[in-house]
A and B are shown apart, each in its own frame.
Chain A
Amino acid sequence: MDAVKFIIGNNNTYYDLEPGKDLLGFTEFSFSFFWEQCIEAGKTGSKTGRLPAELMQSARNTLSQCHPYVKACIEGSFDSAAIDCIIAYICSSENIGLEELWARCISPKNNYEAAIFRRISEYKTGRSVNQWINIVRINEYAKKKLDFIYNDKPDSNISADEYRRRKEYFDLAFSIAANEMGFAAEEMPYVRKYSPSLAPEAAFRMGKFSRYVYGAVSEKLQKIPSDSSKQVSPVISDQSAMDAFSYIKDMERPDSLEMRRASMEEMQCGSVVYMATGFKGIIDLEFDLLEENGEHIERCVSCGRYFIRSREYSSPYCSRVNSSGRTCLAAHEEQQRLRKEAAEKARLAEEEARRAAEEAEERARLAPLRANKVPVIIPRELDLRSQALYYNLSKCAGREMDRAEFEEWAGYLESLKDNIRNGDGSISQLEDFLKSAEKMYGDILSKEKAAAPEQAVQSNGAYAPKSRKTSADRAVKWVPKSFDSVSEAQKDFEAVYENTPSISEEHSAETAELTERQSRSEYAPKSIKSSADKAVRWIPKSFDAEPAPRKSTDLDSSFNRKMSPEVSSAPKPAIYEPPKAAPVQAPQPAAEEHISEDGRKYKPFVPKKYASLYEAMTDPKYKVDKTAPTVGDVMGIAELAAAKKDTFILSSAESTDATVSDKPKKTDGAPPTRVIRSQGRTNVGRR
Chain B
Amino acid sequence: MDFINEEQAIIGLADTVIKGGISLYNAVKYIYSIGESDFYKISIKDAFKVVLNNITDGDSLRNFGLRIDNGSCREMQNTEYDKVLPMIIYSFAVRLPTLRNVRNGDDRMTDDQIQKVYSMVMSRGAENPEGLIREEYAEFKYLVHKGKPLPPYTAEWFKTYIYTCVPSLADISNKNMFLLGFVDVLFAMFYACLEEELSGKVLEYSARAYSIPMND
Residues of A participating in the B interface, judged by any CB pair closer than 8 Å = 103, 106-107, 117-118, 121-122, 124-127
Contacts and interface: CB of A to CB of B under 8 A. Distances in A.
B50 A121 contact: yes
A103 B46 CA distance: 10
A101 to B, nearest CB: 14
Nearest to B54: A107
B64 interface: yes
B49 A122 contact: no
A125 B64 contact: yes
A118 B41 CA distance: 16
B101 interface: no
A117 to B, nearest CB: 6
B49 A106 contact: yes
Given A107-B53, A117-B63, 13 more contacts: A103-B49, A106-B49, A106-B53, A118-B63, A121-B46, A121-B50, A121-B65, A122-B63, A124-B42, A124-B46, A125-B38, A125-B41, A126-B41
Contact of B65 (A103, A117, A122): A122
B41 A127 contact: yes
B8 interface: no
Nearest to A107: B53
B54 A124 contact: no
Contacts of A107: 53-54
B190 to A, nearest CB: 15
Contacts of B43: 124-125
Contacts of A121: 46, 50, 63-65
Top 3 closest pairs, chain A to chain B, by CB = A121-B63, A126-B41, A118-B63
Interface residues of B, number: 12
Contacts of A124: 42-43, 46, 64
A429 B81 CA distance: 134
Interface in B34-48: 38, 41-43, 46
Contacts of A125: 38, 41-43, 46, 64-65
Q: Which of A103, A106, A117, A125 has the most CB of B within 10 A?
A: A125
A403 B53 CA distance: 113
A122 B54 CA distance: 18
Dominant SS among interface residues on chain A: helix
A121 B49 CA distance: 12
Nearest to B43: A124
A124 B48 CA distance: 14
Nearest to B38: A125
A661 to B, nearest CB: 106
B50 to A, nearest CB: 6
Interface string B41-81: 11100100110011000000001110000000000000000
Nearest to B49: A106
Contacts of A103: 49
A127 B41 CA distance: 8
Contacts of B54: 106-107
Contacts of B41: 125-127
Contact of A127 (B50, B53, B65): B65
Contacts of B65: 121-122, 125, 127
A124 B65 CA distance: 10
Contacts of A127: 41, 65
Contacts of B53: 106-107
8 contacts: A106-B49, A107-B53, A118-B63, A124-B43, A124-B46, A125-B64, A126-B41, A127-B41
Contacts of A106: 49-50, 53-54
A623 B46 CA distance: 136
A106 B50 CA distance: 6
A122 B41 CA distance: 10
Contacts of A117: 63
Interface in B13-45: 38, 41-43
A354 to B, nearest CB: 87
B72 to A, nearest CB: 14
A118 B65 CA distance: 9
Nearest to A122: B65
A106 B61 CA distance: 11
A116 to B, nearest CB: 11
A117 B43 CA distance: 15
Nearest to A99: B46
Contacts of B63: 117-118, 121-122
Interface string B134-151: 000000000000000000
A126 B40 CA distance: 10
A124 B38 CA distance: 12
A125 B37 CA distance: 12
A118 B54 CA distance: 14
A103 B49 CA distance: 9
Contacts of A122: 63, 65
B91 to A, nearest CB: 24
A117 B59 CA distance: 14
Contacts of B38: 125
Q: Which of B41, B53, B63 has the most CB of A within 10 A?
A: B63
Contacts of B46: 121, 124-125
A106 B60 CA distance: 9
Contacts of A126: 41-42
Q: Which of A106, A118, A121, A127 has the most CB of B within 10 A?
A: A121
A126 B42 CA distance: 7
Contacts of B42: 124-126
A466 B97 CA distance: 145
Nearest to B66: A125
A585 to B, nearest CB: 132
Nearest to A118: B63
A107 B53 CA distance: 6
Nearest to A102: B46
Contacts of B50: 106, 121
A334 to B, nearest CB: 60
A118 B64 CA distance: 7
A107 B49 CA distance: 10
A498 to B, nearest CB: 116
A126 B66 CA distance: 12
Nearest to B46: A124
B208 to A, nearest CB: 26
A107 B50 CA distance: 8
Nearest to B65: A127
A264 to B, nearest CB: 39
A432 to B, nearest CB: 112
A393 B146 CA distance: 154
Contacts of A118: 63
B71 to A, nearest CB: 13
A187 to B, nearest CB: 14
A106 B47 CA distance: 11
A106 B43 CA distance: 15
Contacts of B49: 103, 106
A122 B42 CA distance: 10
Interface in B129-188: none
Interface string B102-115: 00000000000000
Nearest to A103: B49
Nearest to A120: B63
Nearest to A127: B65
Nearest to A124: B46
